[in-house]
Structure 1
């Protein structure tokens, strides 16, 4: 086919039949296929291609004598040799950032604007999709509010920590997050597969010294690692390691790479959590190169120019993509009080709402 813009497509007969839009092939209410690939005959061929009075492309398939009618607009938007796969997860379509990206301060969206307006929800969702995080300010400082925010965007991902978890100092905690220690840059729960893809933290009270929040764009860090050493980057994508979390009631394990790429070698997930790495078992010939890459990755992540540091104030809720954005905090004093509530959600629910809202604009 030759398109109006001069580009050409050669479309395979089985692909065309598989994508037939006719009522006999697709459910008219939901668009789902009514047949399987094995229902398409191996000896299928195109007998005739014509145009109707509206310019639609009419294809007659034999030997089943089946007629498919495609609009030219549908064919142009969907033909496989001129269009890329839909992709809302990889680094390709993200806005990468570092410390100097936010010289004027970290952008924030008011809770009332988010809560009362579709445009406010769109701003939050687009920020998470594009930059990997968003901060909502002036939210009610009441317990459980973080769950109400998730309900407006998607669905709560319940874990062994419950629907809601408290972040404050504890005696004999099962996780260092519940101490006043500083925490290095990390992603949460790498010992889960699948990992919770969105994390929310709501500041209810903060009167301690220190405890500043730190964010790092893991996709940007991975880009820098690849630029500085393609070998180290490749090592961390090709070698899978174990993460583990264990307490008296839970024993969670996963086997995943620190940097995950798609079929186009684009970064789609990053992981880094030195507190949760299990015993590293790799072939002896790979150990030296792995530790070289591992150290390089850790050094890049902790570079000051990649970090944005700010104080999460009472009434502020931060939402971030846990497959992309690493978070950390500085140590804080034992005097005063610091109380955050956290919860998890997943990107699929947020992206679904984003797609629906954008389609209505």
Structure 2
């Protein structure tokens, strides 16, 4: 729609009580009205008390618009408000705006909880007063939620309305908060160690450790007092313990007729824990109490790095492993668990990698893609894709290896870092690790609090980490 046609249309829609704001309104409307769902802009309404220095800008139903430099970039539809940003209209449903109010009356400043329900919002809610100055939008409502006074004002920043971020964790996200992919060389250089004393009592050192855990997925605590209870103290510094049928904490040591290969002296290949549960633990801790046997070295790998390599080198395989689920099971006399999940679990919106799910010791038979028959060609492609991924994480150049010494504890992201253990000689010496889990939610909360309270310690510097 061109300028002339827009101006003519606006004049036709005007009455003796209304006139077009200005030709600039017509220009704005002409740019935006190419979309059929964008209504005509606001009109001046003449009133007996009209004063040239303060004109009342109203819609046909008499909504007052506070005059500002940006008054021509806001207008009402039947159930929505439009803001013009860089010649592009932003459509904001009125019920959505009312629901998004964060004023102290709508969100208690102490409990941080809402004081109203979305279902309380009137279905035909309308504003009676609007102010938009280009940076902030304010609205008073004509028919607000019952119980709110006529003075209640909802306010939103322009940045929030243009680019809303609904996930609380994403609001404070910065480019250096994402995972830093690593192989053996980088981990040898950047491995992060923190003393038990600093981890427990020094908030700055603890924050640096948490930033490294978030980015690398793997850190170490050293100089831990000789006590079985220390693993709980280390874990609860981050968040509450995750209780499972193994207990709130557990022991990893050789036992006869073990129901888990971890409780033997055999080689244990790369895997992640408890993939058969509905919500696998987010983070795992292993505190070494004894390790005098020959062998028994711990191995770690970054599955995100392997996944990224597959995405770049074999995108069709990457897609297959992100779409088809594998089954994981734990089937014993006292406990029965089963779940299906893809090896590469992606964000449903951004398609970014969220988790890797990989645990061959607990994998069940391959589920069919349609729930009925297994296609030979499909199974062959799936097996080949899994083998390609396995080859990458098993690579020596991708593996970080060390023998945990008594008094050290490893903390790692169980949804990213694969871990393994070499065979050891149980006839001489002993090997005893105390373990614990903490959920992902607890760590996301801890990361956010550390970043908010200690921003300088949170800043990432790869050269000094």
The TM-score normalised by the length of structure 2 is 0.70
Which one of the candidate residues 345, 348, 351 is aligned to 1:265?
Answer: 351
Task: Work out whether 1:15 is the aligned partner of 2:96.
Answer: yes
> Is 1:56–1:69's contact at 8 Å kept on the other side of the alignment?
no
**Partner residue in 1 for 2:327:** 242
Task: Work out whether 1:224 is the aligned partner of 2:306.
Answer: no
Task: Work out whether 1:277 is the aligned partner of 2:363.
Answer: yes
**Partner residue in 2 for 1:37:** 118
Higher RCO (C-alpha under 8 Å, 6+ residues apart): 1
Instruction: List runs of 5+ in structure 2 lacking aligned partners.
Output: 1-69, 74-82, 145-149, 455-465
**Partner residue in 1 for 2:52:** none
Distance 2:119 2:131 in 1: 27
User: How do residues 210-359 of structure 1 correspond to structure 2 at under 5 angstroms?
Assistant: 210-262=295-347, 263-283=349-369, 284-285=374-375, 286-334=378-426, 335-359=428-452
State which drifts further: 242-251 or 258-267.
242-251
Distance 2:87 2:277 in 1: 46
Larger radius of gyration: 2
Task: Work out whether 1:81 is the aligned partner of 2:81.
Answer: no
CA RMSD in angstroms comes to: 2.8
The TM-score normalised by the length of structure 1 is 0.88
User: How do residues 66-215 of structure 1 correspond to structure 2 at under 5 angstroms?
Assistant: 67-70=152-155, 72=157, 75-76=158-159, 78-79=160-161, 81=163, 85=167, 86-87=169-170, 93-104=178-189, 106-215=191-300
State which drifts further: 26-35 or 298-307.
26-35
Residues 165-209 of structure 1 show CA distances to partners (whole Å, capped at 9, x for unaligned) of: 221222111111111112111111111111111110011111122
What is the deviation of 1:6?
8.1
Distance 2:222 2:289 in 1: 12
> Is 1:91–1:219's contact at 8 Å kept on the other side of the alignment?
no
Distance 2:315 2:184 in 1: 24
SS in 2 for 1:243: strand
> Is 1:180–1:331's contact at 8 Å kept on the other side of the alignment?
yes
> Is 1:243–1:276's contact at 8 Å kept on the other side of the alignment?
yes
Count of matched residue positions in the alignment of Structure 1 and Structure 2: 354
Distance 1:210 1:281 in 2: 37
Instruction: List runs of 5+ in structure 1 lacking aligned partners.
Output: none
What is the deviation of 1:255?
1.7
